[in-house]
């Protein structure tokens, strides 16, 4: 529990840093002279790097066993890039730092999740990842609110980036303490399954990846949802970030609940992913403000489930010796499918918002097949 809480505090402070920065990077690039095309390209490149690199870092973790070294390097790269934005004078250099921030987040992810899975084998992986996600989301809410307060008090974008050096430093200090107290997280694995266990990725994992392809591909991005809210006038401009903050609050609460349910019921809780996701797009892309707000809150609930039980499931079905590789592949597939699905929904939305909603519903229904095969495989 103490190890999970320590890493949760690390990510609470880290999320406050980079989510606070992401809330103003778009207008900051514009203030430096970047156009819409350049801003969009930088955002897309950063997100691609933020997921594609995870497969590489997860594999390296398993090959070298140096999970702490990879994790620390990723956090340093991720967090150091943010306050440095206060010093840049060109949008090109700012763009490079933004991509570096996303890359650092990718590098640390699989190694950190593999270490969390060791602790979760004793206290329940659902509860471990749920508690970690809840702490993580507190930072995701606090960071943008702190930056908004700085801007409200007449501080500029550079001041906003500069104050984020405080949570960044505290996050790295907590990470160093965690490393000192738990130099070998593999010892936390129940039964000392540890890194000595041999074995490749099981058939259940590949069935799980098929479920992820459809389930995540049909999940709308908040960028597209917020675009709909803005262009239709369903929510005022200031109401959209508040709705997002509310969704993050729901995310934190659902993470705790779904984690507990996962430890009690196992993989059957994965059925909640398509069940909760099915109404998100129809509600969010509707013409009613109340329905759209309900869709946003439900979107937050889906995020809570995905970030908790979908990560916890990997730790339970994959041997410890290849768990870093498994987490890397899971994260890479998750990110690429979400990117592809969101891009397709964006194109369909241009033609008719209803088409985007129908696409989402179709993919979520298609995810039921691989999920049924996965549950059958694990019962066997």
Whether residue 167 is found in the same domain as residue 249: no
The CA-atom distances, in angstroms, between 342 and each of 109, 281, 300 are 22, 11, 16
Whether residue 319 is found in the same domain as residue 354: yes
Whether residue 260 is found in the same domain as residue 290: yes
The residue out of 126, 157, 183 marking a domain boundary is 183
> Contact 114/327 with Cβ under 8 angstroms?
yes
Whether residue 111 is found in the same domain as residue 255: no
For residue 14, give the 3-state DSSP assignment: helix
Residue 197 above 50 pLDDT? no
The pLDDT score that the predictor gives to residue 191 is 58
Tell which residue, 8, 257, 197, 198, has the closest CA to residue 119. Answer: 8
Question: For the chain, what is the domain count?
Answer: 2
Q: Which positions ≥6 away from 4 have C-beta within 8 Å? A: 116, 119, 120, 123, 128, 131, 132
Look at residue 26 and tell me if it is in a domain: yes
Q: Where are the alpha helices (DSSP H) in the chain?
A: 2-22, 25-31, 36-64, 67-84, 91-123, 125-152, 157-163, 165-181, 203-217, 222-232, 239-265, 272-277, 280-284, 289-317, 323-351, 353-366, 368-379
In the chain, % of residues over pLDDT 70 = 93
Tell which residue, 342, 344, 250, 265, has the closest CA to residue 305. Answer: 250
- The DSSP element (H or E) to which 65 belongs, if any, is none
Tens digit of each residue's pLDDT (9 = 90 or more) over 240-296: 767 777 888 888 889 889 988 988 888 898 999 999 999 999 999 888 989 999 998
Most confident range, picked from 236-240, 274-278, 375-379: 274-278
Domain extent at residue 208: 201-379
The CA-atom distances, in angstroms, between 90 and each of 29, 34, 45, 56 are 8, 9, 18, 31
Whether residue 221 is found in the same domain as residue 316: yes
Tell which residue, 9, 200, 171, has the closest CA to residue 79. Answer: 171
Look at residue 109 and tell me if it is in a domain: yes
The pLDDT score that the predictor gives to residue 375 is 92
> Contact 354/233 with Cβ under 8 angstroms?
no
Instruction: Name the DSSP class of 320.
Output: G
The pLDDT score that the predictor gives to residue 310 is 87
Residue 171 above 80 pLDDT? yes
Tens digit of each residue's pLDDT (9 = 90 or more) over 339-366: 788 778 888 888 888 998 999 999 999 9
Whether residue 343 is found in the same domain as residue 215: yes
Q: Which positions ≥6 away from 317 have C-beta within 8 Å? A: 202, 204, 205, 208, 267, 378
The pLDDT score that the predictor gives to residue 40 is 58
The pLDDT score that the predictor gives to residue 152 is 78
The pLDDT score that the predictor gives to residue 199 is 59
Look at residue 3 and tell me if it is in a domain: yes
Tens digit of each residue's pLDDT (9 = 90 or more) over 294-334: 998 999 899 889 888 888 888 888 887 888 888 888 888 88
Whether residue 179 is found in the same domain as residue 205: no
Look at residue 97 and tell me if it is in a domain: yes
The pLDDT score that the predictor gives to residue 47 is 67
- Alpha-carbon distance of 82 to 50, in angstroms, equals 15
- Alpha-carbon distance of 321 to 327, in angstroms, equals 12
Look at residue 196 and tell me if it is in a domain: no
Whether residue 164 is found in the same domain as residue 243: no
Tell which residue, 11, 60, 373, 279, has the closest CA to residue 171. Answer: 11
Look at residue 365 and tell me if it is in a domain: yes
Look at residue 195 and tell me if it is in a domain: no
- Alpha-carbon distance of 125 to 315, in angstroms, equals 7
Whether residue 298 is found in the same domain as residue 207: yes
Q: Hey, what are 257's tokens?
A: 């609940």
The pLDDT score that the predictor gives to residue 32 is 85
Whether residue 318 is found in the same domain as residue 350: yes
Q: CATH number of the domain that 235 lies in? A: 1.20.1250.20
Q: Hey, what are 193's tokens?
A: 């399954």
Tens digit of each residue's pLDDT (9 = 90 or more) over 9-53: 999 999 999 888 877 776 788 788 877 567 657 766 776 777 778
Whether residue 157 is found in the same domain as residue 228: no
DSSP 129-194: HHHHHHHHHHHHHHHHHHHHHHHHTT--HHHHHHHTHHHHHHHHHHHHHHHHH-S-GGGGSGGG-T
Look at residue 45 and tell me if it is in a domain: yes
- Alpha-carbon distance of 363 to 380, in angstroms, equals 27
> Contact 261/275 with Cβ under 8 angstroms?
no
In the chain, % of residues over pLDDT 90 = 32
Residue 169: pLDDT band (50, 70, 90) is very high
The residue out of 151, 183, 215 marking a domain boundary is 183
Whether residue 210 is found in the same domain as residue 262: yes
> Contact 164/83 with Cβ under 8 angstroms?
yes
For residue 325, give the 3-state DSSP assignment: helix
């Amino acid at each position: 529990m103490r190890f999970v809480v320590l890493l949760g505090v690390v990510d609470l402070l880290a999320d406050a840093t980079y989510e606070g920065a992401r809330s103003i990077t778009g207008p900051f690039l514009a203030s430096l002279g970047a156009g819409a095309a350049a801003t969009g390209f930088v955002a897309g490149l950063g997100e691609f790097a933020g997921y594609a690199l995870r497969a590489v870092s997860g594999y390296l973790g398993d090959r070298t066993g140096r999970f702490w070294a990879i994790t620390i390097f990723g956090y340093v790269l991720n967090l150091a890039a943010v306050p440095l934005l206060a010093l840049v004078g060109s949008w090109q250099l700012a763009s490079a730092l933004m991509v570096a921030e996303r890359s650092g987040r990718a590098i640390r992810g699989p190694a950190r999740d593999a270490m969390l899975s060791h602790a979760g084998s004793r206290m329940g992986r659902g509860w471990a990842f749920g508690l970690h996600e809840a702490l993580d989301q507190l930072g995701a809410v606090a960071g943008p609110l702190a930056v908004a307060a700085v801007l409200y008090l007449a501080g500029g974008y550079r001041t906003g980036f500069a104050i984020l050096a405080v949570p960044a430093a505290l996050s790295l200090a907590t990470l160093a303490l965690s490393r000192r107290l738990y130099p070998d997280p593999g010892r936390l694995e129940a039964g000392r399954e540890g890194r000595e266990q041999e074995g490749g990725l099981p058939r259940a994992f590949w069935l799980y990846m098929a479920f992820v392809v459809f389930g995540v591909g049909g999940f709308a991005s908040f960028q597209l949802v917020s675009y709909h809210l803005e262009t239709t006038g369903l929510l005022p401009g200031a109401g959209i970030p508040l709705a997002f903050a509310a969704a993050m609050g729901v995310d934190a609460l659902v993470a705790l609940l779904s984690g507990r349910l996962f430890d009690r019921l196992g993989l059957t809780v994965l059925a909640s992913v398509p069940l909760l996701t099915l109404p998100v797009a129809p509600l969010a892309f509707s013409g009613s403000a109340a329905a759209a707000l309900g869709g946003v809150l439900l979107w937050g609930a889906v995020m809570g489930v995905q970030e908790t039980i979908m990560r916890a499931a990997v730790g339970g079905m994959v041997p410890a010796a290849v768990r870093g590789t498994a987490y890397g592949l899971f994260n890479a597939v998750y990110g690429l499918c979400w990117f592809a699905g969101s891009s397709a929904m964006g194109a369909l939305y241009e033609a008719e918002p209803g088409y985007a909603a129908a696409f989402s519903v179709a993919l979520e229904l298609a995810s039921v097949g691989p999920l049924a095969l996965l549950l059958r495989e694990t019962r066997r």
